[in-house]
């Protein structure tokens, strides 16, 4: 951030009075420009013993497999965002979604919220997907998953299914685990 989005003046990065961390400040109009994490909402669509994955048609991680997920928009609930992304990327409907993994990515300021639910009816590749397919656990392309959040969600799912007990998993993915996927760049 270089300029005040309100008045167009240059901003400086400093700790405001009474605050404890630096913000982008505008000395011209007095605006404080807070920056906050963004939510990525998605689903884990389950069909019998199988789960639905999408192969990405867009960067980043083009060609890699993911769960349908994307940035939550203003004006919708977290759940609505997850179902919208599922509709857009997999042309699919998920019933009875319940929050299943909440993963904070502290170094890139994202929070993943993935809802587990039952795939209802058909599916097809949306404009952001090359393929959409159902996978048995044995066939999951572990080495071709797009993001560590997806791997973690799938591992929780198959573990929980084995012990027949599903619960919300809340965790963090830091820089080290991301480097396994993306290198240190």
Binding site for Zn ion (CB under 5 A): 4, 6-7, 9, 26, 28-29, 31
Nearer to its own copies, 82 or 140 (CB): 82
137 binds, among its own copies, Zn ion, none (CB under 5 to 8 A by kind): none
Q: Where are the extended beta strands (E) located within the chain?
A: 12-14, 23-25, 32-33, 38-47, 50-56, 65-66, 69-71, 93-105, 110-120, 129-135, 169-172
Min dist. Cβ of residue 9 to Zn ion (A): 5
26 binds, among its own copies, Zn ion, none (CB under 5 to 8 A by kind): Zn ion
H helical segments located in 14-171: 78-90, 148-162
Min dist. Cβ of residue 165 to its own copies (A): 14
Cβ count near 127 (within 10 Å)? 9
Nearer to its own copies, 73 or 179 (CB): 73
Instruction: Give the interface with its own copies as residue ranges (CB under 8 A).
Output: 1-8, 10-11, 21, 24, 33-39, 71-80, 98-99, 102, 104, 106-107, 109, 111, 168, 170, 172
Nearer to its own copies, 4 or 51 (CB): 4
Q: Closest Cα to residue 112, out of 82, 142, 155?
A: 82
Nearer to its own copies, 102 or 130 (CB): 102
29 binds, among its own copies, Zn ion, none (CB under 5 to 8 A by kind): Zn ion
8 A C-beta contact, residue 9 and residue 28: yes
* Separation between Cα atoms, residue 76 and residue 43, nearest integer Å: 16
């Amino acid at each position: 951030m270089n300029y005040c989005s309100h008045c167009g003046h240059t901003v400086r990065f400093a700790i405001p009075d009474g605050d404890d961390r630096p913000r982008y400040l505008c000395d011209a109009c007095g605006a404080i420009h807070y920056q906050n994490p963004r939510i990525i909402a998605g689903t884990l669509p389950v069909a019998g013993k199988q789960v639905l994955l999408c192969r990405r048609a867009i960067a980043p991680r083009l060609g890699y497999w993911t769960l349908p997920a994307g940035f939550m928009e203003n004006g919708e609930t977290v759940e609505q965002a997850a179902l919208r992304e599922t509709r857009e990327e997999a042309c699919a409907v998920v019933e009875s979604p319940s929050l299943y993994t909440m993963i904070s990515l502290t170094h890139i300021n994202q929070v993943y919220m993935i809802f587990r639910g039952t795939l209802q009816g058909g599916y097809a590749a949306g404009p952001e997907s090359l393929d959409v397919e159902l996978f048995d656990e044995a066939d999951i392309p572990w080495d071709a998953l797009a993001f560590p959040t997806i791997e973690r969600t799938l591992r929780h799912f198959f573990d929980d299914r084995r012990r027949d007990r599903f619960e919300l998993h809340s965790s963090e993915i830091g820089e080290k685990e991301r480097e396994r996927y993306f290198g240190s760049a």
